[in-house]
Chain A
Amino acid sequence: MKNLHKILYLLPLAFAFSCEPEFDDLPAPTGGSADFTNYVAVGNSLTAGYQSNALSADGQLNSFPAILSAQMKLAGGGEHTVPLLTGDYGSRGAGLDLLGQNLIVPELKLDYSADCLGEISLGPTLDGMPYGSAQGFFTSNATPGPYNNYAVPGAKSFHLLAPGYGNAANLANNSANPYYVRFANPSNNNETVVAAAASANPTFFSLWIGNNDVLGYATSGGDEGNEQITPIAGPAGVGFEATYNALVASLTANGANGILANIPDITSIPFFNTIRWNNLELTAAEATALNQAYANYNAGIDQAVAGGALTENQGNLKKINFSAGNNAFVINDRPGRSVPGLPNIRQALPRDLIILSTPQDSLKCAGWGSQKGIPLNYVLDKTETDAIKGAIDSYNSIIKQAADNNNLAFVDTKAILEEMEKGLSFNGVTYSTQFISGGAFSLDGVHPNTVGYAIIANAHIDAINSKYGSSIPKVDVNQYEGIVFP
């Protein structure tokens, strides 16, 4: 015990050396039974990296396949070549005008603007003037093929099987897509998207297609628009089932592994849930004035009920009544429900979805939704949402079946969106499907932003790892760009 204090002198030294805790290194990521050396992504805008209503070079470099391939690279993956947009289109983005004026517009950014009442508020605004001519856009491509991303914004399932979809000569009759024209095979510009992707000889592929088969119908207002829901039945190139199976057959022809993504319920995206059915805010005086204005209309409905033209229930649905506070918007009713001599209108119900591109100025200053009905092409009613949901369910069972039949990985993006409706948390940050405040959707309310694409990339990684026994590391979602405030 005599030397005890000498030992004690040494103790601090011994402790100092072990003061920094250390860990064993993790095993290096592997590809398991999958080969990621040539990963090729096939799909639509969601695979291209479209966000805030445009495709830009920045968006392309932050697409979910770009994020995914960077992680695959850690597990033996190869380079990822993307047909990048160049010039102004590359930097400001190139998107199709949602108002249907056939202009090419730059992407949306969050900025202040004045509305028809002169009130200044923050919202999505175009990043500069629309492009005067679309010509440069069609040829704007920085890199020669073959590529690792054959995604074409706007493509429906059957478009990927359509010859000439990338031939500029077909633009005039709307059977080509400018987003594909710009990178279609120059020596064979009638080549289908899926043939081009297959000839890139993927060792691994992702396929996420079918969203536009319902989305085009939905964003153009359902039955009143000029787009239809792609039917299930029909030959390849027409019906979803045969088309989808043909796409998978092409991509697996050389024995490639891959992952199939299903279709989320698009009626729960911000585009359909931001302008709520009852967002009409009225003062008591405004409500009284409107009620007076609708007095004759309501009397006419009562008459129609009394005369037996409408049942009492139908009459109640068509009558208009306001009170102070939040009110249901007035919307146009379906053609079959009109009463002669009266405007064919009703008040919205909770299940009626009003689309985000409904002109705000018309709501605020032109009496839409209060003095007159919101046109039907801005509203999805229950018949239309039922049709959309029904089609999605059918598509999804076909997609799941294809994954099982071909022994491919499967990612349930429908379940991701359902979970995000309740709030999806990553490392302490919670994202939701709320427009802007939810943090994961871009400013068009349809496409994810980069945070959202990172979430999708992670879901792909989980599904691939569990199917192929690989260990691709996931990404930290919070490090990506989300909603950027001015």
Chain B
Amino acid sequence: MKRLITSLLSILPLISLAGGFQVNLQGNQQAGMGHLGTGFYLGASSTFFNPAMMGHSENKFDLEFGGSGIISSVAFQNQMTGDVSRTDNPLGTPFYLYGTYKINDELTAGLAVYTPFGSSVVWGDDWEGRHLIQDISLQAVFIQPTISIQASEKLSLGLGFVYATGNVEINRALAFQNSNNIQSGASLSGGANGYGFNFGAHYQATDKLGIGVTYRSGVKMELEDGDAEFTVPTPVQATVPPTNTFSATLPLPSTTTIGISYQLNEKLLISAEYSNINWDVYESLDFDFETNTDGFQDSENPRRYESSSIFRLGFQYMVNDKLTARIGGYYDESPIQDDFFNPETPNSDNLGLTAGLSYLFSDKLAIDASFIYINGLERESYYTGNNLNQDFGDNFGGKYKSSSFIPGIGVRYNF
């Protein structure tokens, strides 16, 4: 007869990865006015915002690069005890780099490098949700060669091919206890990549009125051969291999945007946008481990995200020949249902308030600065995961609230 301890499945918690982690910081001019730029031209960053408009430049070459610093804080309050936990997140540093080359009046080529998805959440090793997540770091870089054509006097079209590459690291506690009090845990890390495209169309209806539509496709990030390290008590190692590898697929959602802009007068432009993000592709996150045992199986983690919308409004005001000021705001719905809210991605409905300035040092050189304040609205949410109908268990959750302060700076140069 075999020894009695054969299966350890039930105390091995499920492994999970992030979602709801779109980063909307792809241009400091746009960031200053609610992060919109689908309906009107703002330089080489159009390669991302609406590639149709790359050819709207009057220059042969346009270059633009910059970045932001995300200072974010998430707080959690247990509704039973009132205890509050706070994240200690490192500075997030999304960046962008764009270049466009106007081949002729009809055709423009461009290249964009940007970071549309990422997340950096550190709850700490000992917080009460440690069995779901201790910390996560996730970033994806998109590289996008692009062309645009001026189809008619009013209509332009653009298409970019996206190669996405990224990496992820997740740490979480496991419930195994041992006599010398070493915390058991799982550490998963790996690199992933995928492909997609970015399509845009722009129609200049009148001198004052511009309308843009973009479709940025979803990207299936395929993670192969990731490292899975498990710190578990020695007797458990026969069941839970200390070193393992895994593969996983993380679907990044597509974004469909329609934007409209109107030049109210010589100085003031107003623009509004609506985006729909098909987060419902993020149904479940499944980890396929290379080595399985009787007590250690692949892990399936329901996420059940829902499609979400973003509404944006922005104003641009030319103060004088050199200085442009911008202000805006947006409302960004969380795709996460209240029953499937995992603190690895503590994403609430976000209210963003933005302001920005651009200064032209010469005809060739401009500096853009932006500030964003995001108020992640309070929500009370729990993670039921695979335990939908339990009467006696407790799903982890409580009230969550967040805020972020994001200064950014960018440079534009043309020749």
* B4–A435 touching, CB < 8 Å: yes
* A473–B80 touching, CB < 8 Å: yes
Binds A, one of B125-133, B152-160, B269-277: B125-133
Q: How far is the CA of A442 from the CA of B343 in the complex (A)?
A: 31
* B5–A426 touching, CB < 8 Å: no
Binds B, one of A7-15, A224-232, A388-396: A7-15
* A363–B1 touching, CB < 8 Å: yes
Question: In A273-312, which residues have CB < 8 Å from any B CB?
Answer: 274-275, 279-281
**Contacts A438-B10, A439-B175, A483-B177 hold; do A11 and B317 have CB atoms under 8 A apart?**
no
Closest Cβ of chain B to A81, distance in Å, is: 25
With CB as the reference atom, state the residue of chain A lying closest to B342: A428
Question: In A103-142, which residues have CB < 8 Å from any B CB?
Answer: 110, 121-123
Interface contacts (Cβ under 8 Å), in number, total 178
With CB as the reference atom, state the residue of chain B lying closest to A423: B10
* B391–A415 touching, CB < 8 Å: yes
Closest Cβ of chain A to B383, distance in Å, is: 7
Residues from chain B with Cβ under 8 Å of A458 in the complex: 392, 394
**Contacts A474-B394, A485-B235 hold; do A434 and B7 have CB atoms under 8 A apart?**
yes
Closest Cβ of chain B to A362, distance in Å, is: 11
* A15–B373 touching, CB < 8 Å: yes
Binds A, one of B92-100, B302-310, B401-409: B401-409
Residues from chain B with Cβ under 8 Å of A110 in the complex: 235
Residues from chain B with Cβ under 8 Å of A41 in the complex: none
* B13–A430 touching, CB < 8 Å: yes
CB of B220 closer than 8 Å to a CB of A: no
Question: In B333-390, which residues have CB < 8 Å from any A CB?
Answer: 355, 357, 371, 373, 376, 378, 383, 385-387, 390
* Complex partner residue of B11 from A16, A438, A474, CB under 8 angstroms: A438
Q: How far is the CA of A434 from the CA of B5 in the complex (A)?
A: 10
**In this complex, which of B1, B3, B179, B355 has the most chain A Cβ atoms within 10 angstroms of its Cβ?**
B1
**Contacts A430-B10, A486-B179 hold; do A279 and B2 have CB atoms under 8 A apart?**
yes
* A484–B390 touching, CB < 8 Å: no
CB of A364 closer than 8 Å to a CB of B: yes
Mark interface residues in A405-449 (1 if CB within 8 Å of B CB, else 0): 000000000011001100111111111101111110000000000
With CB as the reference atom, state the residue of chain A lying closest to B397: A427
CB of B281 closer than 8 Å to a CB of A: no
Q: How far is the CA of A438 from the CA of B9 in the complex (A)?
A: 8
Q: How far is the CA of A129 from the CA of B313 in the complex (A)?
A: 77
Residues from chain B with Cβ under 8 Å of A474 in the complex: 80, 394
* A8–B371 touching, CB < 8 Å: yes
CB of B236 closer than 8 Å to a CB of A: yes
* A1–B4 touching, CB < 8 Å: no
With CB as the reference atom, state the residue of chain B lying closest to A473: B80
User: Number of A interface residues, CB 8 Å?
Assistant: 63
* Complex partner residue of B129 from A11, A123, A428, CB under 8 angstroms: A428
With CB as the reference atom, state the residue of chain B lying closest to A363: B1
Q: How far is the CA of A364 from the CA of B399 in the complex (A)?
A: 54
Residues from chain B with Cβ under 8 Å of A123 in the complex: 3-5
* A21–B390 touching, CB < 8 Å: no
With CB as the reference atom, state the residue of chain A lying closest to B377: A21
CB of A198 closer than 8 Å to a CB of B: no
Q: How far is the CA of A121 from the CA of B238 in the complex (A)?
A: 12
Residues from chain A with Cβ under 8 Å of B79 in the complex: 26
Q: How far is the CA of A472 from the CA of B97 in the complex (A)?
A: 56
* B393–A8 touching, CB < 8 Å: no
**Contacts A4-B319, A16-B405, A419-B393 hold; do A427 and B131 have CB atoms under 8 A apart?**
yes
CB of A476 closer than 8 Å to a CB of B: yes
CB of B176 closer than 8 Å to a CB of A: yes
**Contacts A428-B396, A455-B392, A486-B178 hold; do A423 and B84 have CB atoms under 8 A apart?**
no
Question: In B62-78, which residues have CB < 8 Å from any A CB?
Answer: 71, 73-75, 77
Residues from chain B with Cβ under 8 Å of A121 in the complex: 3, 5
**Contacts A428-B396, A486-B178 hold; do A19 and B403 have CB atoms under 8 A apart?**
yes
* B1–A364 touching, CB < 8 Å: yes
* A437–B9 touching, CB < 8 Å: yes
Closest Cβ of chain A to B360, distance in Å, is: 15
Residues from chain B with Cβ under 8 Å of A426 in the complex: 393-394
With CB as the reference atom, state the residue of chain B lying closest to A280: B1
* Complex partner residue of A432 from B5, B10, B84, B132, CB under 8 angstroms: B10
**Contacts A426-B393, A439-B11 hold; do A478 and B5 have CB atoms under 8 A apart?**
no
Residues from chain A with Cβ under 8 Å of B234 in the complex: 485-486
* A21–B392 touching, CB < 8 Å: no
With CB as the reference atom, state the residue of chain B lying closest to A417: B392
CB of B42 closer than 8 Å to a CB of A: no
Q: How far is the CA of A344 from the CA of B325 in the complex (A)?
A: 96
Residues from chain B with Cβ under 8 Å of A478 in the complex: 131, 175
**Contacts A477-B394, A485-B176 hold; do A12 and B132 have CB atoms under 8 A apart?**
no
Residues from chain B with Cβ under 8 Å of A1 in the complex: 317, 319, 325
CB of A173 closer than 8 Å to a CB of B: no
Q: How far is the CA of A16 from the CA of B373 in the complex (A)?
A: 10
CB of B124 closer than 8 Å to a CB of A: no
CB of B244 closer than 8 Å to a CB of A: no
Q: How far is the CA of A123 from the CA of B325 in the complex (A)?
A: 72
CB of A313 closer than 8 Å to a CB of B: no
Question: In A464-486, which residues have CB < 8 Å from any B CB?
Answer: 473-474, 476-478, 481-486
* B391–A419 touching, CB < 8 Å: yes
**In this complex, which of B2, B81, B176, B407 has the most chain A Cβ atoms within 10 angstroms of its Cβ?**
B81
* B355–A11 touching, CB < 8 Å: yes
Residues from chain A with Cβ under 8 Å of B323 in the complex: 5
Question: In B238-296, which residues have CB < 8 Å from any A CB?
Answer: 295
Q: How far is the CA of A222 from the CA of B135 in the complex (A)?
A: 52
* Complex partner residue of A21 from B8, B74, B175, B235, CB under 8 angstroms: B74
Q: How far is the CA of A183 from the CA of B405 in the complex (A)?
A: 63
Q: How far is the CA of A397 from the CA of B396 in the complex (A)?
A: 34
CB of B204 closer than 8 Å to a CB of A: no
Q: How far is the CA of A22 from the CA of B77 in the complex (A)?
A: 9
CB of B233 closer than 8 Å to a CB of A: yes
Q: How far is the CA of A424 from the CA of B389 in the complex (A)?
A: 10
Residues from chain A with Cβ under 8 Å of B71 in the complex: 19
Known: A279-B1, A437-B10. 7 other contacts (CB 8 A): A5-B357, A22-B401, A26-B77, A426-B393, A427-B396, A429-B11, A462-B392
16 A-B contact pairs sorted by A residue (CB < 8 Å): A8-B371, A15-B373, A15-B405, A16-B405, A19-B73, A21-B402, A21-B403, A23-B75, A23-B401, A423-B10, A428-B129, A429-B175, A435-B5, A437-B295, A476-B128, A485-B176
By a beta-carbon cutoff of 8 Å, the part of chain A in contact with chain B is 1, 4-5, 8, 11-12, 15-16, 18-23, 25-26, 110, 121-123, 274-275, 279-281, 360, 363-364, 415-416, 419-420, 423-432, 434-439, 455, 458-459, 462, 473-474, 476-478, 481-486
3 pairs of A and B residues whose beta carbons are closest in the complex: A485-B233, A428-B131, A21-B401
